[in-house]
Amino acid sequence: MKQHTVIDSPYGPLTLVAEDGVLCGLYMTDQRHRPPEETFGRRDETPFGPAIDQLEAYFAGELKEFTLELRLIGTPFQRGVWEQLRLIPYGETRSYGQLADALGNPTASRAVGLANGKNPIGIIVPCHRVVGANGSLTGYGGGLDRKKRLLDFESGAALF
């Protein structure tokens, strides 16, 4: 059974989705690849206490690594990419090519980009930390402005 809630953040409202009490989605407004609202289940904050607490600590600059149980729903390749994203340290970035290398498939940087764009748990699974080979800010499902703001926040260039 799915449940959802919506919380405020410095990046606009965030919709949290859980299935059987385990976080399986974190979506921003106007996010590319955002599932239809009717798939989020009933509105209920009950399963989201730890996620809300950790997100609040993250936005306060007090948390650098999330320790939540997650249910990453996707293909085996997508889940592999998303697990690699979780290994990128706070305040650092990796290129699509570096992630493809880490997955043992150096020619898969395009596929890594596609999987990155379909990440269902934004911020907590930090797809915003992936940049182009030359360090440029490339696509982000939540919009390039949000990506830049998240990277600036993590680098200490912007605090809320």
CA–CA gap between residue 95 and residue 98 (Å, rounded): 5
Tens-place pLDDT, residues 99-122: 999 999 999 999 999 999 999 999
Pair (54, 89) in one structural domain? no
Q: Which of 16, 124, 127, 150 is catalytic?
A: 127
The answer to the question of residue 160 being in a domain is no
Pair (52, 91) in one structural domain? no
Find the CATH number of the domain harbouring 15: 3.30.160.70
Q: How many CB atoms lie within 10 A of CB 150?
A: 21
Tens-place pLDDT, residues 2-52: 999 999 999 999 999 999 999 999 999 888 888 999 999 999 999 999 999
Active site residue 24: no
Structural domain of 110: 76-155
Residue 139: φ, ψ to 5°: -30, 145
Q: Output the pTM of the full model.
A: 0.91
